[in-house]
Amino acid sequence: MPEKNSVKKQQNIVTHPFGPVYDRNSKVLVLGTLPSERSREAGFYYAHPTNQFWRLIAAVCGCDVPRTVDEKKRLLLGHGIALWDVFSSASIHRSSDGSIRRSDARGCDVTWLGETQIRAIFVNGKKALDGYNWFLRGQTGLDAVCLPSSSAANAGRSLKQKLAEWMIIKTYL
């Protein structure tokens, strides 16, 4: 008889449901891992209300926090920021980046970078850095700067502490 605590967490293969946000004026690229369950339901990036991504980006750009998808796209593109993820698919438990393994993950296509002016790449957390180094670094030829994760699961740092590191993005805009 199995022990009560030996229940295996169910992993599901998730395929990235939407494309990158960029235009020819994009100067920096911010890469996450894979959209969360809430983001997949909403059809856009960082939709969970506890994720601090939009507060961080708005503060970096000196703007109000966007509410709608259109406002979010305007904020990004209006400041030369492209947004995408490192994984095109991966086995993941719920929205836990920590459950993503290289063995069943696939990297996103970044050939569109040639249509932009991107000169700096930032990753949102350590798992995004892992994915970038596994799949995309060889394609871009650029090192990525690892920023503290905007996820609520990264409770070890306050918003103010995270923002101090995220402000480096402003240097490249």
Q: Is 5 a catalytic residue?
A: no
Q: Pick the closest to residue 83 from 153, 16, 133, 139 (CA basis).
A: 16
Q: Is residue 159 part of a domain?
A: yes
In a domain, 1, yes or no: no
Question: Has residue 91 been placed in a domain?
Answer: yes
Q: How many domains does the chain have?
A: 1
Q: Which domain holds residue 101?
A: 11-172
- 141 within domain boundaries: yes
pLDDT of residue 111: 94
Is residue 120 assigned to a domain? yes
The phi-psi region of residue 141 (left if phi > 0; otherwise alpha if psi is between -120 and 50; otherwise beta) is: left
pLDDT at 153: 79
Please indicate, yes or no, if residue 134 is contained in any of the structural domains: yes
Which is catalytic among the residues 51, 124, 133, 154?
A: 51
* Predicted pLDDT at 4: 44
Q: 66-72: long-range contacts (C-beta < 8 A, 24 or more apart)?
A: 69/42, 69/43, 69/44, 72/44, 72/45
The answer to whether position 4 is within a domain reads: no
pLDDT score recorded for residue 98: 60
Length of the chain: 173
Q: What is the CA radius of gyration of the chain?
A: 16
130 near 102, Cβ under 8 Å? yes
Please report, for the domain that includes residue 112, its CATH number: 3.40.470.10
Give residue-wise pLDDT tens across range 3-53. 444 444 566 887 889 999 999 999 999 999 888 889 989 999 999 999 999
